[in-house]
């Protein structure tokens, strides 16, 4: 294991530990799996709502490299104060659309990784749903 890999695992595990009820061993196992894979694929929740379906239809016309994706924490969200919205736009286009939310089971991991995503892209985006890839 390289020094850089070790640093990533330790940093991610330390961030995950409080969110995993203090279970440092489980946090290191999860961190190692994430860093080893180099990416996390996440299915976006809530894509079935009307306007989101329209955004996904529009996304399907573009190559994944043309789609800019950002994750936006929503602490004021009345349904879940840990919610993280998935917002997308087309490079050079107008507007940014919310296509859904990171599932609750992944919010701790996404927050532990932080905003430093070297790659954040939509793998699929159609009316059946969307999947994201987050590089670690």
Q: Are 26 and 20 in contact (CB under 8 A)?
A: yes
Residues 34, 122: Cα–Cα separation, whole Å = 18
* H or E segment and range at residue 123: strand 120-126
Average pLDDT over residues 67-85: 87
The answer as to CATH 3.40.50 being correct for domain 38-135 is no
Domain ranges of the chain: 1-37, 38-135
Residues 84, 70: Cα–Cα separation, whole Å = 10
Please report the pLDDT score of residue 30 as a whole number.
86
Q: What one-character DSSP code corresponds to residue 45?
A: B
**Which pair of tokens denotes residue 119?**
């790659």
Q: What one-character DSSP code corresponds to residue 11?
A: H
Using a pLDDT cut of 90, give the percent of the chain over it.
3
| pLDDT tens profile 87-112 | 888 876 777 888 888 888 888 888 87
């Amino acid at each position: 294991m390289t020094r850089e890999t070790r640093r990533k695992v330790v940093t991610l595990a330390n961030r995950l530990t409080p969110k995993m009820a203090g279970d440092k061993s489980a946090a290191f196992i999860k961190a190692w799996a994430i860093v080893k894979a180099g990416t996390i694929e996440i299915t976006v929740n809530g894509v079935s709502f009307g306007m989101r379906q329209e955004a996904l239809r529009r996304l399907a016309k573009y190559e994944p490299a043309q789609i800019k994706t950002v994750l936006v924490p929503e602490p004021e969200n009345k349904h879940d104060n840990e919610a993280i919205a998935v917002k997308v736009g087309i490079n050079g286009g107008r507007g940014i659309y919310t296509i859904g939310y990171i599932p609750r089971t992944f919010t701790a991991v996404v927050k532990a990784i932080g905003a430093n995503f070297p790659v954040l892209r939509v793998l699929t985006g159609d009316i059946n749903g969307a999947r994201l890839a987050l590089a670690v």
